[in-house]
Structure formats: structure tokens, C-alpha cells
A and B are shown apart, each in its own frame.
Chain A
Amino acid sequence: MKAARASLLAGAAAFMALPAFAQGGGLTVPKTIEAGAAFSIQSSGSGKGSLYIVGIGQALKRDIQLGETTWFPVGSLYNAGHYMVVVTGDGGAAESGSLDVVPESKPADLSFLARPSRLPVGLHDGITGAVYVFDAYKNLIPASMPVEFALAGPSGETQSRTVNTRYGVAWTALDSTPKQGTDKFVARSGGVSSERVIGQVPGDPCGLKMSAAPAGKDVRLQTDPVRDCSGNAVPDGTIVTFTEAYNGAQSTVDVPLKRGIAQVEMPAHPGATITVASGVILGNQIRWGR
């Protein structure tokens, strides 16, 4: 009982706090209300009538007693936008005004676009995030507010940046971290957060190096463990190409990495030139002895 009374008093206080403006003759309508807030509209005249509140976000209609105050409880009008307010009487005469519903100031939801979902390590500005900030009624909050972007790498290191929204949106670009694995990309604003996962894969091989050893009539070629420039192991399956040039002829073998290395046996032609590459990355060259 006590709680109900307190709630009624609070509701009445909320109504009293609203700025109201006379519009269209005897119609008194608040100029703006916050989404979902309680409000009231005062009409003039006497007899029965209808009150309409229409906009692209909502449409309301109430049967009213002209000259009295019509109360709209919390949650009646919640989609932000511009509304036409119309009161008609039985005689057909209409009074009209307008009302703007503004979003709540507290964020309740972040629409977080993060790209790409997978990229190589160590890429400058390689990861981008854009955040649209919404209130509890899915209204975009246009007032500027800070959004913190944080990218945590697999080994715990974090890049963080705070950006203020402009027209309800904030964005940033961050570097992918040097270590392969899974990054957590988080956006936070007003106590709300949204997380995306970014996969970081090793970059191109770096310092590709092979060695050669005799194997009967052949030469056994084997790379050192293949790593990118940040020291991450290049994934198994990556193709390594061995090329042997001898006496104007050339033979090429593509070998997938297995357990981090590639190995193959090729004919041991004395004086042959053997090279290794992976994609556009060239490794060392060996001249097989006569």
C-alpha cells in the first residue's frame, strides 16, 4: 500500500516536472518528452472527443472528455521522433499540436560492427569497429557520448581507445597484434558492452631458409621451421615451392608444410641451382656441388 502510494506520488511528480506548452488554442502538450516517460495532455472545451498522437514511430488514440487532462503512463510513447497531436470533438472541430519524443540518455544496446573476422598478425589499422548506440527502446541516441574500444590479444596485451559518438555512432581502427590466436574486441559505453572475436593468423613466411643433404642419387631439401616476421609458425598446409634449374631445364615441386617444415627429394644434378619460395616470398638459393 505504502509502495503503491509512493509510486503514485512519484508519477505525479514526474507529470508536474514536464514542461508543457499551449499549442493550437486550448491544447496543452509537452514540447518534448523522453522516450517511455509519463506525460499528460490538456484539452479545452466540453463534451466527448478523441485524442490522437500519430507519427511514423507510433499511433495512439484515446476517447477523452474535452477540457480534462489525459494522462499517459510510463511506457506509452517510446519511439523517438516527431508526433502530431490532434484533439477532435463531437462537433468535428479539431485542435492540433506536436510533440517530440527524444531517446533516453542512457545506452542500453550497442550495435557493433567489427571487421574483418580473420586477418594476419601485425597489420596497421587492420581491424575496424563501428558502434551505433541505442537506448532501451531501440532509439539511436544522437547525443555525443564516449565509447571505449579495447582489443585484447591472445597473450593479454590490450590496445584501448576512447572515441566520442557523433550522430550516435563512433568508430576506430586498431592494429592487429603480433601474436596469432584469438583477439577479443570489445566496445563499451554507459555500462553496456558488446564483444566480437577476431581471429589472427600468421602473416607471410619470413626468412624462408632451406638446407640440402645428399640422399642416394637425390638431394634431400628441407626448410627450417617456417615462421612469419613476428615469429608465429606458418600453418601446416601452406605451400612451399622448390625449384631446381639445371642445364637450361627447370623442375618445380610444390610441398605443403607438415609440422612446420617442408621437405622433398629432387634429382641431384651437379651444378644445379635450387631455390625455395612460398607464394611471393623468396627464400635462399643453393648451388648443388659438382
Chain B
Amino acid sequence: MLKASLLLLAVAATAATMAVAQPTVRVEPAHLETQRPLADETAKAAIRDYLESWQSMDAALEQNRPDLLDADFVGDARDKLSETIQEQAKLGIRTHYEDRAHDVQIVFYSPEGLSIELIDTVDYDTQLLDHDKPQAKQQVHARYIVVLTPAELRWRVRVLQAQTE
């Protein structure tokens, strides 16, 4: 019995070590001046989809695979990330982005309901690898402006741009 419990604990500990740490997320109350009310479900879905986009962005930039952007990015955001991936692949480099904390506030919901803009103050780590050799790692604290537009099943990122504070 004890042996079985210890084994279970060991498995749990290993799983916890292997699991990717989830970023902490803080959502500020929306500050909107538009005529269209923003339903809680809509706000939650947009923020959830935006946070997931960081995972696919990291995977795409780390594996140099633009196809991994398709579910979460659209328009200029997708084009720019895709070009970055092509540049990285050409240069033999990869980058890893690990978001540690988000502080999100929705600041605009367009009157026709076709876009949501949010501001996210993000803490993340960036790592640069050249031909799989780590070159440098940085901790970054930056504010991002994000524009999301609705697709069939989810909100997709159309603009993702760090803003100098």
C-alpha cells in the first residue's frame, strides 16, 4: 500500500516537473466607451483564445512552422509572424517564448461586434537558439496591443504589437 502511494507521488511529481508552467493571468475590468455591450461570455472567450494564441505562437516560432499559427492568427499578425518564421528558418535560428504572467484589459469592442481590442502587460522569457545552440535568454516585461476578430469558432489575433511604455 505504502509502496503504491509512493509510486503515485513519484509519478505525480514527475508529471508536475514535465508540465509546462501555466502563466498567471489577471483580468482588469473592461474599460469601454462603445455603444455595444460586451457580454461576459464574449469577453471570456476572447481572452481565453488570446491566451491560447501565445502557446501556438511559441510552438510556431520554436519549431519554425508557420502552419501552427493558422488556428489563432489571421491577417497582418499571421503574415508578420509567418515572415519572421521564414527569416528564422533561413538564418538557422529558433526562438522560444514562455509567457509567465498576463495582465489583460479589454479597451474596445467595435459597435458592429467585429473586433475586440485589449491591452496586455506581459512578463515572458525569450530564448534564442542558433542551430539548436542556446545563445541568450532574456526576461521581458512589455505591454502589447492586441486586436482580435471573430472567426467561425473562436477569436483570432489580427494585431499583436508590443508598445513602448
Contacts and interface: CB of A to CB of B under 8 A. Distances in A.
B80 A52 contact: no
B42 interface: no
Contacts of A52: 93, 128, 130, 135-136
A130 interface: yes
Interface residues of A, number: 41
Name which of A82, A84, A139 has the most chain B CB atoms within 10 A of its CB: A82
B52 interface: no
Given A56-B97, A58-B83, A167 B35 contact: no
A56 B138 contact: no
B162 A61 contact: no
Nearest to B137: A96
Contact of A61 (B80, B84, B93, B119): B93
Question: Which of A59, A60, A86, A116 has most chain B Cβ within 10 Å?
Answer: A59
B28 interface: no
Interface string A89-129: 00000101010101100000000010110000000010010
Given A50-B130, A84-B128, A130-B112, A56 B61 contact: yes
A269 interface: no
Nearest to A50: B130
B142 A82 contact: yes
B111 A166 contact: no
A125 B112 CA distance: 12
A81 to B, nearest CB: 4
Contacts of A55: 84, 162
A227 B102 CA distance: 57
B140 A82 contact: yes
Contacts of A138: 76, 80
Contacts of B87: 58-60
A115 B111 contact: yes
B57 interface: yes
Nearest to B138: A84
8 contacts: A55-B84, A56-B80, A60-B91, A88-B136, A94-B135, A102-B164, A116-B112, A167-B119
Given A116-B112, A128-B111, A140-B145, 18 more contacts: A54-B95, A55-B162, A56-B61, A56-B80, A56-B160, A59-B91, A86-B136, A94-B136, A100-B164, A102-B164, A103-B161, A113-B110, A113-B112, A113-B114, A115-B114, A128-B35, A130-B112, A171-B34
Interface of A: 32, 50, 52, 54-61, 79-82, 84, 86, 88, 94, 96, 98, 100, 102-103, 113, 115-116, 125, 128, 130, 132, 138-140, 142, 166-169, 171, 173
- Nearest 4 interchain pairs by C-beta: A128-B111, A115-B112, A82-B162, A59-B87
